[in-house]
Structure 1
Amino acid sequence: MTHSAPSLASARAILDRLIAFDTTSHRSNLALIEWVESYLAEHSVKAARVADESGDKANLFATCGPMVEGGVILSGHSDVVPVEGQEWSSDPWTAREENGKLYGRGTSDMKGFVALALAWVPAFVRGSKPVHLAISYDEEVGCKGAPAMIERLRKTIPLPRVAIVGEPTSMRIVTGHKGITVHEVQVRGHEAHSSLVNHGVSANAVAIELMHHLMEIARDLRENADPENGFDPPYPTLTVGVMEGGQAANILAGHARFEFDLRCPPGYDAAEILAPFYEACAAQDAALKGNFPDTRVHVEKLASAPPMTDAGSEDAVAFVRRLTGENSPPSNVAYATEGGQFQQAGFPTLICGPGSIEQAHQPDEWIALDQLEAGTRFMARLAEELS
């Protein structure tokens, strides 16, 4: 790649390259990480990996500029959600421009922000304050990858002025988001002919009862929430995203599984909310084993990420406002991000990035070109501010 002065064109070229990497969360992201390492090396920026246990995925962080306090963390995740089962009008791994929009998986969530940050590396390396780039894996499956990288950052870089997580906010400042926990429930039944329900246990029937229990918890959360807490929706949400089970209509299902997530505004205790459900699962497990010892109900927490609040964000907000030119009050969002993890590590944190969450995770995901232009102005002002 031939490098020129930072510009929208250079960001577009990098974004096209990033989109071409299929970094769906169940795949490796190493090809993208290797490309970014090579790009940074061309600008004499040394990067460090923080790999997962398998070695198939890695976070990447690097510092542009001097190792002094008062810099900025620019954080983005490399993984994207699946395209399987979605009806795309064109290849999701090839950027396509049409009618003021750029289509492709990850354009909005959130390779657009990562591309903008990388495009401005030639300017950041000349600054008197540093820019710390932080690229994570497995954000889309419960923010699993970032904590190990954030811990390394906490131990190795001087305290920055702000960590900016570039999730799509239409370049508006967000200072609060919900936390998330993701659980899997597995039910092992006892197969029998469906006419002889007393000779077996349908794992599907047990799973349906447990999902109904979750929906009752969800209803109670909805009915008892504070409508003025600044979130939309204001209540914790509990949804079942995956359910599987059974082999045939005339067989009592031998296995069933479902996954659910709970998203809570700050101030809620997810473990306390789910305690009755865990008790129901334990009671079901004991009751089933009383008749069929080979049966089982097992619950496992797959992932969790803390909420983010506006605590300690006043200076960070004032600083980022100068970069965006946006003067509207900071807001809260219902989705979870790695922002709460950065905040938990002691970094002043906010969310601000190009694109809209409404386009994320959709077939024909897109980002408006004027959002990339706004991101270009943001990065240019940031480079000037840190110079």
Structure 2
Amino acid sequence: MDFDMRAFAAELCRFASTAGEEAAAADFVEAELDALGFETHAWDADPALLAGHPSFPDDLDESDVAGRKSVAGVLALGGPDGDPGDDAPAVALNGHIDVVPAEPAEWSSDPFEPVWGEAGGERGDDTETPRDDAAETLTARGAADMKSGVAACVGAALDVREAVAAGAIDLPDAGLRVVVEAVAGEEDGGYGAATAALANPYPFERDAAIVAEPTELRPVVACEGSLMARLELTGRSAHAATRWRGEDVLPRFEAVREAFAELETERGEAVDHPLYGEFPVPWPVVCGTVEAGSWASTVPSTLTAEFRIGVAPGETVDEVEAAFRARLDDVVADDPWLREHPPTFERFSVQFEPAEVAVDEPIVAAARAGLVDAGLPDAEPTGATYGADSRHYVAAGIPTVLLGPGSITEAHYPDETIAWAEVERGREAIAAAVGRFAESYAPSVSAK
């Protein structure tokens, strides 16, 4: 079976694989991998396993993970009698098949009906994301984040198989295993990747991984973590005509928000990391939701606000939570009402621990060399202010680098688009990186 990467990516984008709805997309990928000659594996998110993981709530049950199927395909290459030995290195090419919801009214076409076209100019909004006038593009929810990346991983694995057959890659004596993973639930914590990291679904170990997130084909070796925390304030209601009799929560919330913004600035200056100097706000704090009051003519006496707080590589979620709790305590200490009616500040949803891999890891060197082999510039490793499934593999002792086509500026955005030529270059670069990684184990290379 020939692999049509365009058709694969477009068909995968047709699945509205939002949280809990990944199974149909996983079935499609599994069938395609099987037809292409991969040995396939599948697993479901395990609530009992994840409940003990620090990133996930401890009250997960089967209903929380229903429909969250992940799949993988393995190519066994070379080795004695054509079958890799137990000590053959294995590299995983990982991508997630889940997507965030799309608001059709904000799109110029159906988000789950892929559109091929030619982009020209800029987005026409304040993001000013440039696009190559001559580039063919794919527009759909998940086109950049990251179903085209999954397609590039499949194509890269097949290219490695072809190169091995042609003798173009100097394999280790024991052979090589190339794994393509299509996992569920990355957007809300990494259900599929965390399960695969904690309970290996293969009869062999993974020695390294490339996660094909949209990095603009730059190797990302550090990912930021995040604390998700919910603030609840209590005041006292009163008629708007006698508002002085109430205790308004809104000024108190503003005091907390201002204190957190000041701490964000302080942390940006004090928490230094060599890979994050290019970001104007390296450890962002965002209050994403606020709900307050019950009636326009009543002093608001309740408020709930949800924060996403950045965690730097080298920090822990616990440490950052403690810093923001201490700053909240300072606000409370300055307000007599809050001292008598202290707010709550509790975690909710999924927490993201930061992750970092050393720049001298073989998989990082292979990624950089693969870019050059693909005719692209050598790119210095960098960091990202978002989290990714790489953290689960790094925590499991699997060195992992992010490298994939597309831009994070397109992720979660209306009319999400990727330049197809970049997907083709990503496929070539990832395949070359796998070849370089394999050769780092080969006797003829190691002896040099």
Task: Give yes or no for TM over 0.5.
Answer: yes
State the 1:269 CA deviation: 4.2
**In structure 2, the residue corresponding to 1:302 is in which secondary structure?**
coil
Do the aligned partners of 2:215 and 2:406 also contact (CA within 8 Å) in 1? yes
Q: Is 1:16 paired with 2:10?
A: yes
Structure 2 gaps, min length 5? 48-61, 77-83, 119-135, 165-174, 440-448
Matches within 5 A, 1:342-357: 342-357=393-408
Do the aligned partners of 1:193 and 1:252 also contact (CA within 8 Å) in 2? yes
Question: So what's the TM-score if we normalise by structure 2?
Answer: 0.73
Matches within 5 A, 1:69-88: 69-84=88-103, 87-88=106-107
One-letter amino acid of the structure 1 residue matched with residue 2 of structure 2 = A
Q: Is 1:34 paired with 2:27?
A: yes
State the 1:257 CA deviation: 1.9
Q: Which residue of 1 aligns with 2:272?
A: 226
Do the aligned partners of 1:50 and 1:149 also contact (CA within 8 Å) in 2? no
- Taking a change above 3 Å as real, the CA distance of residues 82 and 270 of structure 1, as seen in their structure-2 partners, is same
**In structure 2, the residue corresponding to 1:247 is in which secondary structure?**
coil
Q: Which residue of 2 aligns with 1:113?
A: 149
Do the aligned partners of 2:284 and 2:310 also contact (CA within 8 Å) in 1? yes
Q: Which residue of 1 aligns with 2:443?
A: none
Aligned length: 377
Q: Which residue of 1 aligns with 2:50?
A: none
Task: Write the distance in 1 (CA, Å) between the matches of 2:105 and 2:278.
Answer: 26
Q: Deviations over 1:98-145 (max 9, x none)?
A: 112211111111111112223566667787422223333332234455
Q: Deviations over 1:49-85 (max 9, x none)?
A: 1225324242414341347431111111222223228
State the 1:93 CA deviation: 0.9
- Among candidates 231, 237, 261, match of residue 185 of structure 1: 231
Structure 1 gaps, min length 5? none
State the 1:320 CA deviation: 2.5
One-letter amino acid of the structure 2 residue matched with residue 112 of structure 1 = S
Question: So what's the TM-score if we normalise by structure 1?
Answer: 0.83
- Taking a change above 3 Å as real, the CA distance of residues 340 and 86 of structure 1, as seen in their structure-2 partners, is farther
Do the aligned partners of 1:182 and 1:303 also contact (CA within 8 Å) in 2? yes
Please say which of residues 322-331 and 337-346 is displaced more in the overlay: 322-331
Q: Which residue of 2 aligns with 1:268?
A: 315
- Taking a change above 3 Å as real, the CA distance of residues 366 and 44 of structure 1, as seen in their structure-2 partners, is closer
Q: Is 1:328 paired with 2:328?
A: no
Task: Write the distance in 2 (CA, Å) between the matches of 1:200 and 1:76.
Answer: 52
**In structure 2, the residue corresponding to 1:304 is in which secondary structure?**
coil
State the 1:317 CA deviation: 2.0
Q: Which residue of 2 aligns with 1:306?
A: 353
One-letter amino acid of the structure 2 residue matched with residue 314 of structure 1 = E
Q: Which residue of 1 aligns with 2:292?
A: 245
State the 1:199 CA deviation: 4.7
Do the aligned partners of 1:75 and 1:135 also contact (CA within 8 Å) in 2? yes
- Taking a change above 3 Å as real, the CA distance of residues 231 and 165 of structure 1, as seen in their structure-2 partners, is farther
Q: Which residue of 2 aligns with 1:319?
A: 366
State the 1:20 CA deviation: 1.0
Q: Deviations over 1:132-189 (max 9, x none)?
A: 2333333223445532221122x74533342101111122222222222222223354
Task: Give the % identical residues.
Answer: 26
- Among candidates 350, 360, 363, match of residue 414 of structure 2: 363
Q: Which residue of 2 aligns with 1:170?
A: 216
Do the aligned partners of 1:144 and 1:303 also contact (CA within 8 Å) in 2? no
State the 1:271 CA deviation: 3.0
Matches within 5 A, 1:277-296: 277-279=324-326, 284=332
Q: Which residue of 1 aligns with 2:194?
A: 147
Do the aligned partners of 1:64 and 1:125 also contact (CA within 8 Å) in 2? no
Task: Write the distance in 2 (CA, Å) between the matches of 1:122 and 1:378.
Answer: 13
Task: Write the distance in 2 (CA, Å) between the matches of 1:157 and 1:173.
Answer: 29
Task: Write the distance in 1 (CA, Å) between the matches of 2:67 and 2:363.
Answer: 31
| CA RMSD after TM alignment | 3.3
